[in-house]
Amino acid sequence: MLKRIFIPNRGEIAVRIIRACKELGITSVIGYSEADRESLPVMLADEKICIGPASPLESYLNIPAILSAIEVTGADSVHPGYGFLSENPFFIEVCQSSRIVFIGPRPENLRLMGDKSEARKTVKKGRLPVIPGVDSLVDIEDARKQAKKIGFPVIIKASAGGGGRGMRIAHTPDEFNAYWPACQQEAKIAFDNPSLYIEKFIERPRHIEIQVLADEYGHILAFPERDCSLQRRHQKLIEETPSPAVDACVRRKLQKIARKICRIINYKNAGTIEFLMGGRHVYFMEMNTRIQVEHPITEMITGFDLVKNQIEIASGEKMRYHHRFVPFTGHSIECRINAENPARDFLPSPGKITKLVLPGGPGIRVDTHIYEGYVVPPFYDSLLAKLISYGRTRQEAITRMQRALNEMKIEGISTTIDFYKVVLDHPVFQSGRYYVGWLEKLLNDMKNKQAVGSAAGG
């Protein structure tokens, strides 16, 4: 087992890793920025060291500073969490050359699956379902011809990254001509790579993902699916498992595909295979080669501790559970509580938390790094907490989440709590018939109603 784990991260995921270390008897060392000096991870870790100023480029993305901190603190391993350096193959190679264990996959896994075009080619070779599309396009004339062959609507994506950057949906050739240069510019700025790919746009799809764990001994576990279709601008807001749109037959099909992809690329540690589902047809979309923000809902229905599993696999341990398809009980939902103002187009809302009341009771879990008096900095992601509910049935999980949202109080800053109350009360969510794009439609409807109300009031 590893002895000292360095955590170059912040927020709730840093707290999550520290807690896993404590349960395993491992010393946790937090590398923090100057802006996070008073943060909860710094308070909870066994040891702490500042790695730079507030700017992520000078701290959480500063590889020389992080390596120096690892050397100074005598850590034998590093857990990157998600974001920042979690999917940087160069960082992994530097760690390996310095005999530092990277708790995650190998650099070749990241390079292959981090490039959407190469990932699609690899999956195609395995005769697995991929959405019709064309990879690695730069020239607009060639791209326009390929789009016509595929048939509109098409979606344009950056080849080298995600998070919604460099992504547009074109329903007509004119829209395609307008969006292509903007997508290239965004891709160049975000990923230093202007290459794009286009694929057939599936109307009203579901975004479904399969969590996987793979050890050094050839054991691959495929977990029940998570439904991540409730998104705003390609950013997930609410997730649930199992999906209300997936039956046992489709679930097993998804799990088999996920296991086969892991075997093809010889994957190790935790990862997530993401799919787009139209009707009962499923298509590979991409692979996230790290722990996911939404991993707690999988833990709730399976009893696994995925972060501890990551550490054990990186330590060279053999997974004790060898069933290929992990069984589950009940239902779980996660709401990402963000420091944003939904009434002002989700404008970030940093500042001091003057009052905090966290919910509890049966079937409720809160993963967070905030506390009363904590000052939310303006430099990072706006995630404050992950509110998670569990129930024997989907309806019980929904009812418990509604109760928890009503109990939760965060004052001093704006949050998304009240917005989630509206979503969970909505008949479409209650029925489980939502899809990728539905949340955007709901937000537009809410804006239009507010505009009409304001005009009537005026």
- pLDDT tens for each residue of 200-246: 999 899 999 999 999 999 999 999 999 999 999 889 999 999 999 99
Section 275-304 average pLDDT: 95
Mean pLDDT, the chain, rounded, equals 94
Cα gap 261→360, rounded to integer Å: 39
Q: In the structure, what pLDDT confidence band is assigned to residue 197 with cuts at 50, 70 and 90?
A: confident
Section 167-194 average pLDDT: 92
Please check whether residues 370 and 241 belong to one and the same domain: yes
Given 200, 231, 255, the domain boundary residue is: 200
Do 194 and 225 contact (CB within 8 A), yes or no?
no
| Beta strand 77-78 pairing with 101-102 | parallel
Please check whether residues 268 and 393 belong to one and the same domain: yes
Section 312-324 average pLDDT: 90
Long-range CB contacts for residues 2-5, cutoff 8 Å, separation at least 24? 2/26, 2/76, 2/77, 2/101, 2/103, 2/311, 2/314, 2/315, 3/27, 3/76, 4/29, 4/73, 4/74, 4/75, 4/76, 4/77, 5/29, 5/75, 5/76, 5/77, 5/78, 5/79, 5/103, 5/311
> Residue 163 belongs to what H/E stretch?
none
Given 176, 200, 224, the domain boundary residue is: 200
Q: What is the pTM of this model?
A: 0.89
Section 346-350 average pLDDT: 97
Single-letter amino acid, residue 390:
Y
Count of domains for the chain? 3
Please check whether residues 331 and 345 belong to one and the same domain: yes
Q: In the structure, what pLDDT confidence band is assigned to residue 191 with cuts at 50, 70 and 90?
A: confident
What pLDDT sits at residue 458?
52
Section 274-301 average pLDDT: 95
Of the listed ranges 27-36, 114-123, 344-353, the least confidently predicted one is 114-123
Q: What percentage of residues in the chain have a pLDDT greater than 70?
A: 97
81: in domain: yes
User: Is 259 a residue of the active site?
Assistant: no
**C-beta neighbour count of 25 within 10 angstroms:** 8
Domain hosting residue 307, numbered range: 206-446
Count H helices and E strands in the chain, helices first.
Answer: 15, 24
Section 94-109 average pLDDT: 96
456: in domain: no
Please check whether residues 195 and 235 belong to one and the same domain: no
Q: Catalytic: which of 168, 290, 365, 400?
A: 290
Section 17-22 average pLDDT: 98
CATH number at residue 35: 3.40.50.20
What pLDDT sits at residue 132?
86
What pLDDT sits at residue 358?
98
Please check whether residues 434 and 362 belong to one and the same domain: yes
Buried b (16+ CB within 10 A) or exposed e, 304-328: bbbbbbbbbbbeeeebeeeeeebeb
Beta pairing partners, 283: 276
455: in domain: no
Axis crossing angle, helix 306-314 with helix 11-24, rounded to the nearest 10: 60
453: in domain: no
Please check whether residues 88 and 187 belong to one and the same domain: no
Please check whether residues 185 and 214 belong to one and the same domain: no
Instruction: Say how far residue 65 (Cα) sits from the centre of its chain.
Output: 26
Cα gap 104→307, rounded to integer Å: 10
CATH number at residue 427: 3.30.470.20
CB proximity list for 43: less than 8 A, separation 6 or greater = none
Please check whether residues 383 and 261 belong to one and the same domain: yes
118: in domain: no
Please check whether residues 147 and 212 belong to one and the same domain: no
What pLDDT sits at residue 456?
58
Which of these, 139, 159, 387, 119, lies nearest to 265 by C-alpha position? 119
Please check whether residues 194 and 237 belong to one and the same domain: no
28: in domain: yes
Sign of the C-alpha dihedral, residues 329, 105, 6, 63? negative
